Amino acid sequence: MGINNIIKLGVFIGLLLLSARPVGLFLNRVFSNQKHVFTRPLGWLERVIYSAAGINPEEGQTWTRYTSCLLGTSVVSMLFSYAILRLQHILPFNPQHLPAVPADLAWNTAMSFTSNTNWQAYGGESTMSYFSQMVALTIQNFLSSAAGICVAVAVIRSIASKQASSLGNFWADFVRCNIYVLLPLSLLFSIFLVSQGVIQNFNSYTELLTLEGAKQVLAMGPTASQVAIKMLGTNGGGFFNANAAHPFENPTPLSNFVQMFSILLIPSGLVYLLGLWTGNKKHGWSVWTAMAVLFLVGVLVSAHFEFQGNPIYSNVGCSSAMNMEGKEVRFGIFDSALFAATTTAASCGAVNAMHDSFTPLGGLVPLFNIHLGEIVFGGVGSGLYGMVLFIVLTVFLAGLMVGRSPEYLGKRIDGKEVKYAMFSLIILAFCILGLSAWAVVSPRGTSSILNPGPHGLSEILYAFSSGAGNNGSAFAGLNVNTIFFNTALGIAMFAGRFLMMIPVLALAGSLAEKRIHPESEASFPVHGPLFVALLIGVIAIVGALTFFPALSLGPIAEHFEMLRGKTF
C-alpha cells in the first residue's frame, strides 16, 4: 500500500481518537442540559419550540412513550417528504421544470430518507428540484439523524440509571440534538466545503461548449448545505448521482479526508459518552478499541485486494496497480478503499468510488460491514445501540462460560434482555436474506440484473443489505428503479430501521428498571483486552454464521472464478 497510505490511515485513526473525548463531553453537556458554547446564541430557539409545541422537557417518558413519540415523528415527516416529491412540479425552486416524482419512487425515497438510509434509485440532478432537495431531503437528513442519536442517548441513560422507569424525554433530546449538535456543526462544515469548491447556489443548469464542439450541461444547486449534513448525520444521500465522486460535491483530497472523518466524528463521541455516563470510562474506551480494530481490519483487507487488482489484466501486461475502474483519479485506490470501509462501517452510504467495480473480496468488506449491523463506530446513534446488542450477548455468553449470572455494569442480564437483543438482530438478518431470496427467485427481481452469475447475486444481496442496514450505498449494475425494487427496498428500510429500534428501546426500558449491584469478584469485567477480544469474537461469529453462506455464493465464489480467468 505504500508508506504514505499507512501514515494517512494512522492520522485518520489518531484524529478520530483525539476527537472522541471533546465530542463526547460536548454531547454530555447538550443532553444533560448543561451550559455549553451554543446555549446563549441558540437557547432562545429551544425555548420557543417548547412553548409553541406545549412540551415539558423535564417530563420523563417510559420506553413505550419514548418509542411512540419517535415513531409518530417519523411517520409525519415521511408523509411530508412524500407529498413534496409528488408535488414538486408545482412547487418553487424548480428551474429545470422537473416533473413530479412517480408514486413508487416517491415512496421509496421518502422512506429512504426518513429511515436514515438515503438509498437513491434516481439521479439527483435529473429527478429532484432544488425545493425537493432542500425541504424534502435535507431537512429529513437532520430529523432522521437526530432520531438515531436520541435512541443511543436513551440506551446509554438506561444503562447508567439507578432503577428508573424513564428513558428521558424524546422531544427534549430531539430538539437539543438538532439545534445544538447537527445545525451548528453542519453550518461550520458547509462553510469549509464551500472554501474547497463545493457549489452552493440556485442557478439554472449551465450549458457549455467543449473543445470538441459538443454541448455539456453542468448541474447547479445548493450542494454544500446538503453534503454537510449527509456526512455529519451519516445519511449519505448525494445531491448528484455520482455522490462524493462528483467534483462539485467532493472537489479536493482535503475535502475527501474531512468528509470521511466527519462521518465517524459523532459516532466516536457517543462511545465516549457511554463510558462517561456509566462511570466506567475504561468500558467506553474498550468498546471504542473493539470498533477501531474491526475498522482497521476492514480497511486493510479491502485496500489489499484493490491494490492486487484483477490478475486477468496482469496476464495481458497491465499493472495491477492500475485497478482504477470506477475510482476517481483525484483520490486513487487507497482513498477509495478507505472511504468504502468508512461509509459502510457507519450507516452512511456516501461513496467516492463505485463499489460494483471493486474486486470481489475488496467489495466484500463494505458488504460485510453492513452485515455486522454497521456497529463499527456506526451511524449516528445506530452504531452504538447496535453495539450494545452485541455487548449484551457477549456478557451473557461470558456468564454461561464461567457458570455465573451475567451482569453488565452492575445490572443483571436476564433472558428477557437477551431475547430483545436477538430479536433485533434476527430482524436485520431476515430482511436481508429473506428479501434477497425473494428477489433472486422472482422474475421481477432477476429481470433487473445486468451482470450474470455470482456478481448478480452480490448486487441483489448488497441492495437489500444496504436497505435493511440503513446504509444507502449500492453495488450498482442493478436496475432498482422499478415498482418491485422500490416497494421491496422501502419495506426493507422500514423494517431495518423501526422494527429494529423497538426491541432496542424495549431493552433500554428493561435495563433502566434494574438496580445496579456493586461489582464483585464474580462480575465479568467489561473492559480490558479479554473483553475486547470476546466482543470482537461474538460480532465476527454472529456475522459469519448468519451471512457466510450467502457471501460464499456471491463475492467469494466470484473471487475464485476471477482467479480462473472468468469475469461477470
Task: Give the tens place of pLDDT for each residue, 235-287.
Answer: 988 999 999 999 999 999 999 999 999 999 999 999 999 999 999 999 999 99
3-state DSSP percent of the chain in helix, strand and coil, to 5: 65, 5, 30
| Range of the structural domain that residue 51 is part of | 22-251
The stretches in the chain having pLDDT less than 70 are: 314-322, 520-522
Q: Specify the pTM.
A: 0.93
DSSP 469: T
Q: Residue 418: inside a domain, yes or no?
A: no
Contacts of 18 (CB under 8 A, 6+ apart): none
Q: How far apart are CA 410 and CA 396, in angstroms?
A: 13
Judge contact between 475 and 365, C-beta under 8 A.
no
Q: In this structure, is residue 264 part of a structural domain?
A: no
Residue 142 lies in a domain: yes
Is residue 89 within 8 A of residue 98, CB to CB? The reply is yes
- Total domain count for the chain? 1
Q: Where are the alpha helices (DSSP H) in 161-278?
A: 170-176, 183-196, 224-232, 253-277
On whether the CB atoms of residues 275 and 29 are closer than 8 A, the answer is no
Residue type, 215: K
Give the cell for residue 398. Answer: 461470558
User: Residue 478: helix, strand or coil by DSSP?
Assistant: strand
Residues 6+ apart with CB under 8 A from 320: 307, 308, 309, 310, 311, 313, 314
Residue type at 180? Answer: Y
Whole-number pLDDT of residue 317:
56
Distance CA 137, CA 240 (A): 13
CB 516 within 8 A of CB 410: yes
CA 298, CA 292: separation in Å to the nearest integer? 10
- pLDDT computed for residue 315 by the predictor: 63
Q: Please report whether residue 561 resides in a domain.
A: no
Whole-angstrom distance, CA of residue 409 vs CA of residue 523: 9
Task: Find, among 71, 192, 72, 93, the residue nearest to 138 by Cα.
Answer: 93
Residue 225 lies in a domain: yes
As given in the structure block, the three cell numbers for residue 551 are 457471501
Whether residue 258 contacts residue 224, with contact meaning beta carbons closer than 8 Å, is answered with no
CB atoms within 10 A of CB 58: 8
Cell 429500534, residue located: 501
Contact 223, 133 (CB under 8 A): no
Tell whether 339 is covered by a domain: no
Beta bridge partners of 218: 206
Report the C-alpha gap between 435 and 427 in whole angstroms. 12
User: Is residue 376, in this structure, part of any structural domain at all?
Assistant: no
* Alpha-carbon distance values, 113 to 119, 314, 460 (Å): 8, 42, 20
CB–CB of 349/472 below 8 Å? yes
pLDDT in tens, 337-379: 999 999 999 888 899 999 999 999 999 999 999 998 888 888 8
443-to-213, 437, 440, 459 alpha-carbon distances in Å: 44, 12, 8, 15
Residue 364 to residues 83, 313, 351, 358, 506, Cα–Cα distance (Å): 37, 21, 15, 9, 33
Q: Is 555 within the bounds of a domain?
A: no
